[in-house]
C-alpha cells in the first residue's frame, strides 16, 4: 500500500463562476487520488449574480451573495491561485498569469464569465458603472452610494440596457433611493425591454416600472457617455448624473489570441460535452462558453445546470473515459425582482407576480448559496480508486512511488534541479562561488569592518500556491536579519517537494524558488545554493546571511527604561490559518493577512534604526508575549503592555472569541506565568492573541519615547499603516523580567 499517492494529473480551473463552484464542491465530496485540482481566481469572494440587485437595494449583505472561494478550494483540496489569468497556451498546456511562471495543466476548464461590450459606447468605461465584472461594480457602487446619500440635490440615474439585469438594477435604484432624492430612467436599444420574456410578463414589468416612477425609453441606442450626459443614435441626448451599463457582452481578448476556437463575439466554442471543439483537453462553461448547435441567451440558470455535468466530464476526461452530454434547456423559470419584496415570474407563455413570487426567488437564491456555505457539515464520499488512471506513464509513476529511497537518495533528481537552476535569474551580488559554479558549497568575502549575521528557519507549506508560499518564507526568514539591523546579502535554500512526474516536480520547485528569489532580489540578496529533497509535502526554508556595521547592530538586550515599544504590523496569522484549515475563515481575512505577510520589512527596519531603536526582534513563532518577554529578560527590564493598542488582523479577534487557536498556542501560553493582568484583560479575546504564533510577523522595537510618535508616523507612510506604540519599558529589574498587561 502506498504511503502517499503522487500527483499524476493536474486539472486547472480558470475562473470561479457558477459552474466551477459546483466542480469544486463535487471534487471536495469525491476526490480522485493522484489528481490535483487547482483554481485560478481573480476574486476569492465570487458574487452570485442572481442576488446583485438585492444587494444594491439593501436587501442582502455582501456575505449573503458571495461564495467564499478560499473556503471552497480548501474543502475541495484544491490549490488556489488568487490572481487573474492573462492567457492560455493550449499546445504547451500552460495558463499565463502576471509576474510569475505559467501554471501547467493536463486538463483545463474555463469559467471566467464575459466582458461588457463597450466598443459601441464611447466613454462608458470611464464615465459609467459597468455591471460586469460584478466584483468591480460592487466596489465602485459603495463609493457612489455614499456620494448620493450625502448629496442634497436630486440625482438623475440612468440604466443602459434592456435585459433582466438592467431592469432589476432600475428597480434596485428606485428601492435604494426615495423619489425625492433620485430619479431613475431605463434606456434600451431595442423596441421593447425583456424581448426574450413572454408578452404577459413584459406587460406586468412595464406596469410595475411605471408604478414606481421609472421611465422606460425604448429604441435608445447609447453611443457615447460624457460627464453628466448620454448621447444616443438618432435620439436627443439625456442629462444624467450617474449611469449604469448592463448591455451585451463579449469574451475576454486573451481567449481570442490563444488559438482556441471562438465565435464572432469571442466566446469559446464547445461541444455537447462542454469540451473545446479545437482542443479536447480544454473545457468551458458558463457565460464564456458557446455550445455548438444550442444557441441560448447568457443565463446564470444554464451555468448552474452545467456545473454537475462539467464536474463529471472533468473526472471522466482525466481518467480517459467517455464523456456525458449536456443539453441546455430551452425554457426555464425567470424571476424578475422589484427588490421591494415583490417579483414577476415567467416560464414560456405563463406569467405571474406577487410577494410570493419574490419569496420563491429568495428561497431559490438562498438555497443555492447554502450549498457552498455549509461545507464543514458535508461528509466526503469515498475517493475514486487510483486504478482509473490507467495510462502507461501514470502507472510507471505509481510503481516508482512505491519504492522511494531515503537518505541522499531522496534528493530531487539532477535533471529536475538543473532545469530549475537554469531558469532562476543569476545572483545580483558578488560571490566567489554561487549557483553558477555548481560547486559543493557557496563562498563569499565579508567586507572589512562588517559583521556577518546568520539565521535559519524552515516550515511546511500552509498555503497551496507555491509561488506565494516561497515569497512568504523568504520574507519570514529575512525578518531575523532586519531585526538585528543587518542588510541581507545571500541565502541557501532548503526545499522539499513531493514525488511526482519530473515535469510536475520541476514546476512546483521552480515556482516556489522563483517566488522566494523575487523577494531576495528585492532585498538586495542572492540565492547562492541550497539543498532539495523529496518529502510528503511542499516545504521551504532558508539559511540567510546579512552584513551589519558593528555600531548599528541591534539586539534584543538593548531596551532601556522609558523606551516606547513599537510594533510594525498586526498580529493574528496563527489563528487565521488555524481557522482556514477548519473552513471557518473568510477569504478577505486571509487575503489581508497574506498582504501583511508579503509586505517587505526593509523600510520598517530602516525607519526604526533611523529613529534610534534601542532593541529589536521580529515577532514570529513564540507570539508577541513570548518575544516581548525574551527582550525584557535579555535587557533586565520590566515592561508594560497596552493591550488595547495592539494592532490585530481583520477576523482574528472574532475567531479568538470563538475559542479558535493555533496548535502552538498552548506552548506559548506558558509565557503567561511571567505576566500580570487584570481580570478584564485576561478575559478579553485580545489577551489570547498575545500568544498566537506569527509567520512573517512584524518588528518589535524599543524607541526613545520622545521620538516614538514621529517614528510611527513615518512607518505609516512607509507601508505599515497599522504600526503602533503598544507599551513602555518601566524599570530595570535584578531578577526575572515581568510583563504587566493593562488597557481593558
**Grid coordinates standing for 2?**
502506498
DSSP string, 713-730: HHHHHTT-TT-EEEEEEE
Q: How far apart are CA 614 and CA 733, in angstroms?
A: 17
* Under 8 Å between Cβ of 710 and 611: yes
CB 289: neighbour CB atoms within 10 A? 28
Q: Which three cell numbers stand for residue 347?
A: 416560464
97 forms beta bridges with 85
Residues 6+ apart with CB under 8 A from 224: 121, 122, 123, 230, 231
Q: How far is CA 596 from the centre of its chain?
A: 13
Residue in 16, 408, 593, 681 annotated catalytic: 408
Distance CA 80, CA 44 (A): 9
Please tell me the distance from the alpha carbon of residue 149 to that of residue 155, in angstroms, as a whole number: 10
* Cβ-based burial of 332 (10 A; exposed 0-12, middle 13-18, buried ≥19): middle
30: left (phi over 0), alpha (psi -120 to 50) or beta: beta
Cα torsion 612, 614, 620, 623 to 10°: value is -120
Evaluate whether 255 touches 265 at the Cβ level (below 8 Å): no
Distance CA(382)–CA(379), nearest Å, equals 9
Residue 716: CB partners within 8 Å, gap ≥ 6?
723
Give the C-alpha separation, 506 to 511, whole Å.
Answer: 8
408 is catalytic: yes
Catalytic positions, please?
A: 408
Amino acid at each position: 500500500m502506498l504511503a502517499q499517492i503522487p500527483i499524476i494529473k493536474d486539472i486547472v480551473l480558470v475562473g470561479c463562476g457558477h459552474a466551477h463552484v459546483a466542480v469544486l464542491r463535487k471534487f471536495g465530496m469525491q476526490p480522485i487520488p493522484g489528481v490535483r485540482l487547482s483554481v485560478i481566481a481573480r476574486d476569492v469572494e465570487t458574487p452570485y449574480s442572481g442576488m446583485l440587485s438585492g444587494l444594491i437595494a439593501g436587501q442582502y449583505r455582501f456575505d449573503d451573495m458571495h461564495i467564499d472561494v478560499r473556503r471552497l478550494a480548501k474543502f475541495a483540496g484544491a490549490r488556489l491561485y488568487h490572481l487573474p489569468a492573462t492567457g492560455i497556451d493550449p499546445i504547451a498546456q500552460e495558463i499565463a498569469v502576471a509576474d510569475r511562471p505559467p501554471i501547467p495543466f493536463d486538463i483545463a476548464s474555463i469559467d471566467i464569465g464575459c466582458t461588457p461590450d463597450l466598443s459601441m459606447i464611447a466613454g462608458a468605461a470611464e464615465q459609467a458603472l459597468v455591471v460586469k465584472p460584478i466584483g468591480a461594480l460592487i466596489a465602485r457602487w459603495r463609493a457612489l452610494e455614499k456620494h448620493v446619500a450625502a448629496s442634497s440635490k436630486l440625482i438623475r440615474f440612468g440604466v443602459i440596457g434592456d435585459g433582466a439585469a438592467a431592469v432589476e438594477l432600475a428597480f434596485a435604484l428606485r428601492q435604494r433611493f426615495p423619489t425625492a432624492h433620485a430619479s431613475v430612467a431605463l434606456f434600451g436599444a431595442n423596441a421593447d425591454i425583456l424581448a426574450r420574456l413572454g408578452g404577459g410578463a413584459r406587460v406586468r414589468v412595464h406596469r410595475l416600472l411605471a408604478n414606481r416612477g421609472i421611465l422606460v425609453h425604448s429604441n435608445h441606442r447609447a453611443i457615447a457617455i460624457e460627464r453628466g450626459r448620454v448621447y444616443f443614435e438618432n435620439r436627443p441626448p439625456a442629462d444624467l448624473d450617474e449611469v449604469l451599463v448592463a448591455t451585451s457582452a463579449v469574451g475576454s481578448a486573451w481567449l481570442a489570441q490563444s488559438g482556441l476556437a471562438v465565435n464572432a463575439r469571442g466566446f469559446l466554442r464547445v461541444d455537447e460535452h462542454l469540451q473545446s471543439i479545437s482542443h479536447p483537453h480544454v473545457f468551458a462553461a458558463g457565460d464564456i462558453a458557446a455550445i455548438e448547435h444550442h444557441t441560448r441567451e447568457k443565463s446564470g440558470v444554464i451555468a448552474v445546470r452545467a456545473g454537475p455535468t462539467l464536474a463529471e466530464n472533468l473526472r471522466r476526461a482525466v481518467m480517459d473515459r467517455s464523456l456525458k452530454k449536456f443539453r441546455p434547456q430551452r425554457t426555464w423559470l425567470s424571476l424578475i425582482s422589484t427588490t421591494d419584496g415583490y417579483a414577476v415570474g415567467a416560464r414560456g407563455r405563463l406569467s405571474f407576480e406577487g410577494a410570493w413570487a419574490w419569496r420563491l426567488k429568495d428561497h431559490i437564491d438562498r438555497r443555492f448559496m447554502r450549498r457552498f456555505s455549509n461545507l464543514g457539515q458535508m461528509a466526503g464520499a469515498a475517493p475514486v480508486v487510483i486504478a482509473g488512471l490507467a495510462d502507461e506513464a501514470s502507472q510507471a509513476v505509481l510503481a516508482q512511488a512505491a519504492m522511494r529511497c531515503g537518505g541522499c537518495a531522496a534528493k530531487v533528481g539532477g535533471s529536475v534541479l538543473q532545469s530549475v537552476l537554469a531558469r532562476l535569474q543569476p545572483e545580483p551580488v558578488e560571490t566567489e562561488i554561487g549557483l553558477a559554479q555548481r560547486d559543493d558549497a557557496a563562498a563569499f568575502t565579508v567586507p572589512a569592518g562588517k559583521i556577518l549575521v546568520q539565521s535559519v528557519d524552515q516550515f511546511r507549506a500552509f498555503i497551496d500556491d507555491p509561488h506565494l508560499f516561497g515569497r512568504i518564507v523568504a520574507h519570514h526568514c529575512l525578518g531575523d536579519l532586519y531585526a538585528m539591523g543587518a542588510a541581507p546579502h545571500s541565502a541557501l535554500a532548503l526545499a522539499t517537494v513531493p514525488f511526482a512526474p519530473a515535469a510536475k516536480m520541476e514546476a512546483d520547485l521552480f515556482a516556489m524558488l522563483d517566488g522566494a528569489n523575487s523577494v531576495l532580489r528585492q532585498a538586495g540578496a542572492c540565492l547562492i545554493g541550497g539543498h532539495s529533497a523529496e518529502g510528503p509535502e511542499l516545504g521551504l526554508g532558508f539559511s540567510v546571511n546579512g552584513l551589519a556595521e558593528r555600531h548599528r547592530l541591534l539586539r534584543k538586550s538593548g531596551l532601556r527604561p522609558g523606551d516606547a515599544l513599537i510594533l510594525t504590523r498586526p498580529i493574528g496569522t496563527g489563528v487565521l490559518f488555524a481557522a482556514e484549515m477548519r473552513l471557518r475563515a473568510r477569504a478577505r481575512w486571509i487575503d489581508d493577512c497574506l498582504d501583511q505577510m508579503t509586505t517587505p520589512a526593509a523600510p520598517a527596519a530602516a525607519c526604526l534604526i533611523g529613529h534610534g531603536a534601542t532593541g529589536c526582534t521580529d515577532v514570529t513563532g513564540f507570539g508577541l508575549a513570548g518575544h516581548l518577554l525574551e527582550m525584557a529578560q535579555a535587557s533586565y527590564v520590566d515592561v508594560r503592555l497596552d493591550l488595547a493598542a495592539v494592532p490585530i488582523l481583520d477576523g482574528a479577534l472574532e475567531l479568538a472569541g470563538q475559542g479558535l487557536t493555533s496548535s502552538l498556542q498552548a506552548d506559548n501560553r506558558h509565557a503567561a506565568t511571567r505576566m500580570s493582568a487584570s481580570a478584564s484583560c485576561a478575559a478579553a479575546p485580545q489577551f489570547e492573541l498575545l500568544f498566537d504564533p506569527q509567520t512573517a510577523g512584524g518588528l518589535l522595537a524599543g524607541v526613545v519615547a520622545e521620538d516614538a510618535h514621529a517614528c510611527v508616523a513615518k512607518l505609516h507612510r512607509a507601508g505599515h499603516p497599522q504600526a503602533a506604540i503598544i507599551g513602555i519599558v518601566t524599570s530595570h529589574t535584578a531578577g526575572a523580567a515581568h510583563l504587566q498587561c493593562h488597557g481593558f
